[in-house]
């Protein structure tokens, strides 16, 4: 659906490598802190130059400065500290800001002077993420012109940087794919075409299995199929497996809500709320991007992704409020609101994955409730878990990567709110605590495996861009979960 390799050109050169420069088109990027200009090995005549540039930093200027002189153009970028204290998120955002500024200034090439490999890598990731663009459906030529096409890091060890950069590109590719999927319109991306996108990942060593409706029925997923009944489009379940770990070690499992369009079903949404519902497959998009990143970087764990792909529509055969359906867990559900469909899909996928694969943990991602946006806005995702170690690990990965979460409670009193007379549970709670009752519903479909649920309704789509996230699909969670996997210690 999208051509790969659409990254801006980024390269790493040693201090003494000769680079052909076009003086008028290039800008040199240097960093300074409260105390000083940071001198890297790659700066020629650095004593002279730093003295010259220093004269522009009056009173340790608090802002970035552009210097245009006969010595060339320089961009002095303020940074909090020289080295180790800077976290990944800070550096990526710095990279994003550098990219956006240079683009706005109209230069076509940039040379960034920095010797620390980790700093370079994170700045490079920030640049890749901020230069993402989805323009598949723009046929009329855009007036906006972007000249910036090449960024070179002048550094101490270009070879080490280049090999580390492979991993960064893998992560960025995962985020790009997740964003692309979120952006795609629902007439193009529906369960079948989504599953087709997943099968392309076979090219990079991922085992992909796609289950059709008759197979899904045999698997006992009555709740998932009930959601898809109101749509002309068939439902699909996709399993993606990356076997980078020991043959017999159990996998880390990630589960994605893949409602390719959520009209609400017979409990139809009002038009305004429906406008956003092409991205109700954001969880599935993140899981797909994550598995791609894991495979591209050849991570040494067994990691799997399971997607429940459906479309929630209101035709004559749609499920009705009042229907009672059963689930893989054997428990029955009264469907009182057909718009609370995500939990029906996830319930079946969660118990099926737990029973069949016995994973070390289960993490599901879902644009599950509007109430999550009321609670946490567009800043943090909601985290719900039955396991302290897992929730702490996720929280930590969130703080480092900048894809932050906040833990929400799962007290038994909330769980009581989904009791009903006719079945084992109903698919909605009372008027309050909508995100928590939804999570309680999911919890009932996991038996004993450490499990976490991430409600990403508020963070999947951004209407306002930030340094590393342009307007639109975010690909939220790819970076954070990649970090979580890398930090994982086998139990």
Active site residues: 269, 343
Closest to ligand BES by CB, 158 or 263:
263
* Whether 314 contacts 230, CB under 8 Å: yes
Q: Which stretch in 234-242, 291-299, 333-341, 442-450 sits in contact with Zn ion by CB under 5 A? A: 333-341
Interaction partner, residue 428 (Zn ion, ligand BES, none; CB < 5-8 Å by kind): ligand BES
Closest to ligand BES by CB, 75 or 183:
183
**Secondary structure of 286-301 in the HEC alphabet?**
HHHHHHHHHHHCCCCC
Smallest separation, CB 412 to ligand BES (Å): 20
Among 342, 402, 458, 472, binds Zn ion (CB under 5 A): 342
If phi > 0 it is left, if psi is from -120 to 50 it is alpha, else beta; for residue 306 that is beta
| SS3 (DSSP) at 32 | strand
Smallest separation, CB 273 to ligand BES (Å): 7
Among 280, 348, 364, 415, binds Zn ion (CB under 5 A): 280
Interaction partner, residue 276 (ligand BES, Zn ion, none; CB < 5-8 Å by kind): ligand BES
Interaction partner, residue 172 (Zn ion, ligand BES, none; CB < 5-8 Å by kind): none
Interaction partner, residue 337 (ligand BES, Zn ion, none; CB < 5-8 Å by kind): ligand BES
Confirm or reject binding of residue 339 to Zn ion (CB under 5 A).
Answer: yes
Smallest separation, CB 183 to ligand BES (Å): 15
- In sequence order, the 6+-apart residues with CB closer than 8 A to the CB of 409 are 436
Smallest separation, CB 79 to ligand BES (Å): 36
| SS3 (DSSP) at 309 | strand
**Burial, 68: exposed, middle or buried (Cβ in 10 Å; 0-12, 13-18, 19+)?**
exposed
280-308 burial by CB neighbour count: b if 16+ within 10 A, else e? bbbbbbbbbbbbbbbbbbebebbbbbbbb
CB-CB neighbours of 3 under 10 Å? 6
Candidates 479, 367, 406, 482; CA nearest to 129 is 479
- Residues in the interface with Zn ion (CB under 5 A) total 6
**Burial, 104: exposed, middle or buried (Cβ in 10 Å; 0-12, 13-18, 19+)?**
exposed
Smallest separation, CB 123 to Zn ion (Å): 37
Q: How far apart are the first and last CA of the chain?
A: 39
Closest to ligand BES by CB, 53 or 259:
259
How far apart are alpha carbons 253 and 360 in whole angstroms? 8
Facing residues of 426 across strands? Answer: 334
Phi, psi values for residue 260, rounded to 5°: -70, -25
Indicate the length of the chain as a whole number.
Answer: 491
Confirm or reject binding of residue 259 to Zn ion (CB under 5 A).
Answer: yes
Interaction partner, residue 370 (Zn ion, ligand BES, none; CB < 5-8 Å by kind): ligand BES
Closest to Zn ion by CB, 27 or 221:
221
In the complex, which residues of this chain contact ligand BES (CB under 6 A)?
262, 276, 280, 337, 339-342, 367-371, 428, 434, 457
Closest to ligand BES by CB, 342 or 359:
342
CB-closest chain residue to ligand BES: 370
Interaction partner, residue 11 (Zn ion, ligand BES, none; CB < 5-8 Å by kind): none
| SS3 (DSSP) at 360 | coil
Q: Which stretch in 88-96, 221-229, 259-267, 322-330 sits in contact with Zn ion by CB under 5 A? A: 259-267
Smallest separation, CB 371 to Zn ion (Å): 12
* Whether 457 contacts 378, CB under 8 Å: no
Smallest separation, CB 315 to ligand BES (Å): 18
How far apart are alpha carbons 215 and 383 in whole angstroms? 32
Closest to Zn ion by CB, 74 or 279:
279
Phi, psi values for residue 239, rounded to 5°: -115, 125
Smallest separation, CB 267 to ligand BES (Å): 7
Closest to Zn ion by CB, 335 or 446:
335
Q: Beta 425-426 vs 451-455: how paired, if at all?
A: unpaired
Interactions with Zn ion, residue window 114-173 (CB under 5 A):
none
Closest to ligand BES by CB, 167 or 341:
341
Residues at the site binding Zn ion, with contacts judged by CB under 5 A: 259, 262, 280, 339, 341-342
């Amino acid at each position: 659906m999208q051509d790969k390799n659409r990254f801006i050109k980024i390269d790493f050169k040693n201090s003494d490598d000769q680079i052909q420069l076009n003086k008028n088109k290039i800008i040199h990027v240097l960093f300074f802190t409260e105390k000083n200009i940071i001198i890297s090995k790659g700066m020629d005549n650095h004593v002279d130059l730093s003295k010259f540039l220093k004269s522009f930093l009056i009173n340790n200027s608090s802002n970035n400065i552009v210097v245009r002189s006969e010595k060339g153009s320089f961009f002095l970028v303020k940074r909090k500290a020289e080295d180790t204290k800077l976290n990944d998120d800070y550096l990526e955002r710095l990279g994003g800001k550098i990219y956006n500024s240079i683009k706005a200034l109209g230069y076509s090439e940039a040379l960034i002077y920095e010797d620390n490999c980790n700093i370079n890598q994170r700045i490079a990731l920030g640049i890749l993420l901020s230069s993402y663009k989805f323009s598949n459906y723009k046929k009329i030529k855009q007036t906006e012109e972007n000249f910036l096409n090449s960024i070179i890091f002048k550094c101490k060890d270009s070879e080490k940087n280049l090999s580390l950069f492979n991993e960064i590109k893998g992560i960025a590719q995962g985020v790009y794919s997740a964003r692309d999927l979120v952006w795609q319109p629902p007439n193009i991306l529906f369960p079948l075409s989504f599953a087709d996108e997943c099968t392309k990942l076979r090219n990079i060593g991922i085992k992909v299995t796609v289950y059709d409706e008759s197979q899904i029925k045999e698997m006992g997923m009555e709740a998932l199929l009930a959601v898809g009944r109101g749509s002309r489009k068939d439902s699909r379940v996709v399993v993606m497996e990356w076997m980078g770990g020991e043959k017999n070690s159990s996998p880390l499992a990630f589960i994605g809500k893949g409602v390719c369009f959520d009209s609400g079903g017979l409990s139809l949404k009002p038009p305004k709320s429906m406008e956003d519902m092409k991205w109700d497959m954001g969880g599935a998009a993140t899981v797909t991007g994550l598995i791609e990143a894991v495979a591209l970087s050849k991570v040494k764990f067994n990691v799997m992704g399971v997607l429940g792909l459906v479309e929630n529509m209101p035709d004559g055969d749609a499920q009705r409020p009042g229907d009672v359906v059963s689930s893989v867990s054997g428990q029955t559900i009264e469907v009182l609101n057909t718009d609370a469909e995500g939990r029906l899909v996830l319930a079946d996928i969660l118990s099926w994955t737990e029973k069949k694969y016995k994973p070390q943990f289960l993490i599901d991602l879902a644009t599950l409730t509007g109430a999550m946006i009321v609670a946490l806005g567009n800043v943090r995702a909601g985290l719900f878990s039955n396991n302290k170690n897992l929730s702490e690990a996720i929280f930590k990965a969130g703080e480092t990567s900048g894809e932050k979460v906040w833990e929400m409670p799962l007290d038994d009193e909330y769980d009581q709110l989904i009791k009903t007379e006719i079945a084992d549970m109903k698919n909605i709670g009372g008027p309050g605590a909508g995100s928590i009752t939804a999570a309680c519903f999911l919890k009932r479909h996991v038996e004993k495996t450490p499990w976490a649920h991430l409600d990403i309704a508020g963070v999947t789509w951004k209407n306002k861009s930030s340094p590393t996230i342009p307007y639109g699909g975010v690909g939220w969670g790819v970076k954070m979960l990649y970090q979580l996997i890398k930090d994982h210690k086998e139990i």
